[in-house]
Every structure is written in structure tokens, then in C-alpha cells.
Amino acid sequence: MKIPQQQQQQQPRSAPDALLRVDGLVKHFPIREGLLRRQTGAVQAVDGLTFDVRPGETLGVVGESGCGKSTMGRLITRLLEPTAGTIEFQGHDITHLGVSAMRPLRRDVQMIFQDPYSSLNPRHTIGTIVSAPFRLQGITPEGGVKKEVQRLLELVGLSPEHYNRYPHEFSGGQRQRIGIARALALKPKLVVADEPVSALDVSIQAQVVNLLDDLQDELGLTYLIIAHDLSVIRHVSDRIAVMYLGKIVELTDRLSLYQSPMHPYTKALLSAVPVPDPRRRGVKSDRILLKGDVPSPISPPRGCRFHTRCWKATEVCVQQEPPLVELKPGQQVACHHPENAADQVPDETVLESAREAVEIVSLAPKTEAGTVTGTEAGTGTVTGAEAGTVTGAEVGTVTGAEVGSETGTVTGTGAAGSAASAASSLAESAGEASRVREPGGQPAPEPRPAADDQPGPAGPAPSGGTT
Ligand SMILES: Nc1ncnc2c1ncn2[C@@H]1O[C@H](COP(=O)(O)OP(=O)(O)OP(=O)(O)O)[C@@H](O)[C@H]1O
Ligand code: SF4
Ligand SMILES: [Mg+2]
């Protein structure tokens, strides 16, 4: 079988002025069993990441729950020891620096944690929490610690009078602001934000995202933002890395990713997100629902890790792992048969199993703004209660747990574990009628209105992921 063009393409090279450079980063968590605690296997959480982060940019990292995003963030901030690979910050190799050697660098690399409830010590006042970095670094800011902490609180939109209060007196959004103030205390160069808004209500999410945006402009920060919410990632990122099972499968600028994704997984993820463009509201679109669970990172599939769920998989995908290579200027992709490229997979070489790997949902144009249609789709039903309450901003917010619960309701395909399918089901909740095609490509019978074909009461907003 012919291995397509990209095998001969250049390996991507990092920008010469990169602030952070990661090369072949690996983290395997050993699995030990028995009395002697012998290692019997390993969770391959991160398996060979290579990318860089340029000064002043925001690199978004997106992927399904469990694909290794948080592990990557913790490796970069040196909260975890890598199994292999290198991490360079401002040209210095920090891969294996010890605690004391890392201390000066902690000023420059800070982390915002996902859960604003557990990331603040409930016994400490806000003043103590935000001033901790000064104490740990032995730094006294000009004007004193208290004055500086109060300035930071103001910077993130809190009152300086909150100095003596305790975390339990604050809402989730306010607590995340406190976490941000703490991360910014030492004027870092790089901020790694692990799901900074996923634990927050959607209305608060926008405030915190805008705050991060403003602070970036004001302080010249560089961000690496981890999220599973494609809407958040789209809003904040200059470039986006898509992860699947411990690997980056596509890395490119925001426009290229959303307009011409090249990796089938990226395409499936994006197909599930409604286009926030009012001019396209009347356009019919197809959504790709991936079937099957995400494979275990303990024994990931050989060859391309996505081949068990890819509708284009051929023998070469099973046999050979596709390298991450630059297929278009600035667009790195790890795929033997990329989308939006001349070298498409011939239909007769596609594996039999691949033909069953996805389900296409055709979404009819929306007819009337705000009208929700409960429809039968395949074997499942979108009820009025589920519909009408999910906004476009929420649609991409998917966790593994949500996926399992949502897919059965809408598609009845058993496609648990698929972010695309869950996001799609939420999109349907936003009021778009759908029809599921049978695997052979035949559309299912015409949808008929559900009994409660009325906008339902406000349903629960999808919660954030787990880390
Ligand atoms: N300390 C650990 N020991 C063993 N396995 C771990 C450890 N931390 C993470 N893992 C495993 O590594 C894999 C990646 O986990 P990680 O938390 O990085 O995923 P994630 O992409 O951040 O997921 P989520 O979106 O749910 O936060 C998972 O299978 C997880 O169970
Ligand atoms: S076409 Fe092959 S290499 Fe590309 S994503 Fe699908 S299975 Fe992987
Ligand atoms: Mg995580």
C-alpha cells in the first residue's frame, strides 16, 4: 500500500524564539501489583509530545477526557517528573531540575488549576493565599506585601477589602479570580491554565475568559490553556493543539483548524460544534458521531491510535504510526490520509471495520429562532425538557461522564466516550432537528414531533471536566 505524501514532508521545527519548547515528552504512570509491587504495566498518559509556545501567544490544548492534557500541564510546570523527552524554557533545559534549582523558575512559570474549590486552602485568608508566592520566593514587593496583594485583587476584579476573608465566603468565579491573582503575583512569563473555567457556570465562564484575555494584553503574558470546551478554546487561542490518547494529532493556527481541519478526529470534533455565524444558521450540515469508546491508555491501539474509531482507516493505519508532520505551512498533522488534502484514501482500501466507525447525523436548517423541536433520532429521543436550554457556548463542553449519559438519550448509538457525539447531542438540545443515517448511508425515517414538542424548562448546564 502506498504511504501518502506526508511521510516525505519535513518534520516540524520549533520557532527559534520559542518561550517553551517541548520535545518527545513522555509520561507513563507505572501500574504495580502484588505484594512486591512489581510493575505490570503503565498508563501511557502522555506519549511523545513535541511543540513550542511562542512569547505572547495563547496555545490552546483540546481533547477528550483522559487524553493526557492535565498530565502535560503538570509536566511542563514540573509538578510531575517526565519519563522521557525534554522541556526547555527560554532556552534552558528544565526537564529534570530539582526543587531548589526550579525555585527561581517558579516565578516565571505558573499554573491556574481547574477546581477553584479545592485549589485554595480553606483555612487561609485570601491575603495569605495570594501572598504565598512572595513568601516562598522570599520577595518583598515595593510598598509591602499587603499593598501588592490588594493591587492584585483589584487587577482581577475583586475588592481589596477581601484581603482578610476566607475562600468559603466566595463564589466559584470569585475563587477562580483569587487563583488567577495568586498565579500572577510574581509576574510570570508563562501561565499554564488547566481547564480554568470548566468548573464555573457558563455566565461566569465568559467573565473569567475575558479577564484572562485582558490580563494577557495588560501584562504581556503567554498562555497555555487546556480545555475540553471547543468554544472556550476557539475564543482564547492563537494556535490549537488537538490531543488524542496521549498524542498531538493536529497543531495549527485557529483559523486553519476551524476552516480546514486535516485530521479526521479534529474534523469529527468540530463537526459537532455549531458555527456561531448567524449567516449560516439556515445551512444544512452533517455531524460525525464517533462510535465506540476511547481505547485504554494502558494498551493503546498500535499504529495510529485513532484507527479503531476512524472511518478512513486502512491497513497502513493499523501497521504504522503516522508522524506529526507539517502538511501545510504551520499546520502539523499526524495522519496517513488527511482531510482537505489531495492524497485521499481510495475507497476500496478502507477497512471493513472503519465503515462502521461513525454515524452521520444530518441537521436540518433551523426554521424559527428559539423554537425547539423534540425529534426521534434513530432509537433515541430528544425531549422537550432537554432542548432549548443549551447555548452555543456550552455545546463543546463535554466530559467522558457526560458523554455516556447524553449519547444514549439522543442517538441511541451506544457511542459512549465520544466528545463529538456528546457535543452533537447537546447541539440538538439547542433546537436543531436531526435525522440519523443508517450505517449504509440511508436516512432513518422522517422525524415526527415528540409529544412534548415545546421548549422545556431550564435544564442543567453541562458541568466541567474532571482532573
Ligand atoms: N497519578 C496518576 N497515576 C496513574 N494514572 C494517572 C495519574 N494521573 C493521570 N493518570 C491517567 O493518565 C491519563 C490522562 O490523565 P489526565 O488527567 O492527564 O487526562 P485529561 O486529559 O486531563 O482528562 P480530563 O479532561 O478528564 O481532565 C488518564 O488515563 C488518567 O487516569
Ligand atoms: S486515516 Fe488512518 S492515520 Fe489518519 S486518523 Fe484515520 S486511522 Fe489514523
Ligand atoms: Mg484534566
Predicted confidence band at 31 (pLDDT cuts at 50, 70, 90)?
very high
Calculate mean pLDDT across residues 377-387: 32
Distance 21 CA to ligand 1 centre (A): 22
Calculate mean pLDDT across residues 156-165: 93
Long-range Cβ pairs for the range 402-409 (8 Å, 24+): 402/462, 402/463, 403/65, 407/289, 408/380, 409/380, 409/381, 409/382, 409/383
Q: Which of 265, 294, 312 to mutate to test the pocket of ligand 2 (most atoms within 8 A of CB)?
A: 312
Digit-coded pLDDT (tens) for 426-454: 333 333 333 333 333 333 333 333 333 33
Distance of CA 366 to the CA centre of its chain: 28
Digit-coded pLDDT (tens) for 387-414: 332 233 333 333 333 333 333 322 333 3
Identify residue 109 by its one-letter amino acid code: V
Distance of CA 264 to the CA centre of its chain: 16
Q: Which of 25, 43, 47, 242 to mutate to test the pocket of ligand 1 (most atoms within 8 A of CB)?
A: 43
Q: Is 53 exposed, middle or buried (0-12, 13-18, 19+ CB in 10 A)?
A: buried
Distance 197 CA to ligand 3 centre (A): 12
Nearest of 98, 88, 71 to residue 23 by alpha carbon: 88
Calculate mean pLDDT across residues 226-246: 92
Residue 335 Cβ inside 6 Å of ligand 2? The answer reads: yes
Distance 256 CA to ligand 3 centre (A): 25
Distance 312 CA to ligand 1 centre (A): 28
Q: Is 352 exposed, middle or buried (0-12, 13-18, 19+ CB in 10 A)?
A: exposed
Can you give the pTM of this predicted structure? 0.76
Distance 317 CA to ligand 2 centre (A): 6
Digit-coded pLDDT (tens) for 309-346: 999 999 999 999 999 999 999 999 999 999 988 766 77
Highest mean pLDDT among 5-14, 206-215, 405-414: 206-215
Atom of ligand 1 nearest to the CA of 243: 21
Angle (nearest 5°) at CA 397 between 394 and 281: 45
**What are residue 292's phi and psi, to 5 degrees?**
80, 160
The CATH number fitting domain 5-32+40-244, selected from 3.30.70.360, 1.10.357.140, 3.40.50.300, 3.40.980.10: 3.40.50.300
- Closest ligand to C-alpha of residue 68 is 1
Worst-scoring range by mean pLDDT, 202-206, 213-217, 224-228? 202-206
Identify residue 125 by its one-letter amino acid code: T
The CATH 3.40.50.300 domain(s) of the chain lie at 5-32+40-244
C-alpha cell at 260: 480546514
Higher pLDDT, residue 29 or 412: 29
Atom of ligand 2 nearest to the CA of 263: 5
Calculate mean pLDDT across residues 176-204: 89
Residue 395 Cβ inside 6 Å of ligand 2? The answer reads: no
Compute the distance between CA of residue 226 and CA of residue 446 in angstroms, rounded to an integer: 40
User: Whats the size of the chain, residue-wise?
Assistant: 467
Angle (nearest 5°) at CA 88 between 118 and 231: 50
Digit-coded pLDDT (tens) for 83-139: 999 999 999 999 999 888 888 888 999 999 888 888 899 999 999 999 999 999 898
Residue 137 Cβ inside 6 Å of ligand 1? The answer reads: no
- Closest ligand to C-alpha of residue 263 is 2
- Closest ligand to C-alpha of residue 64 is 1
Q: Which of 28, 46, 69, 225 to mutate to test the pocket of ligand 1 (most atoms within 8 A of CB)?
A: 69
Higher pLDDT, residue 383 or 92: 92
Distance 72 CA to ligand 2 centre (A): 23
Residue 337 Cβ inside 6 Å of ligand 2? The answer reads: yes
Higher pLDDT, residue 459 or 2: 2
Angle (nearest 5°) at CA 121 between 115 and 122: 100
Worst-scoring range by mean pLDDT, 187-196, 264-273, 374-383? 374-383
Predicted confidence band at 366 (pLDDT cuts at 50, 70, 90)?
low
Residue 68 Cβ inside 6 Å of ligand 1? The answer reads: yes
Residue with grid cell 449504509, as numbered in its chain: 440
pLDDT at position 182 over 50: yes
pLDDT at res. 288: 86
Residue 246 Cβ inside 6 Å of ligand 2? The answer reads: no
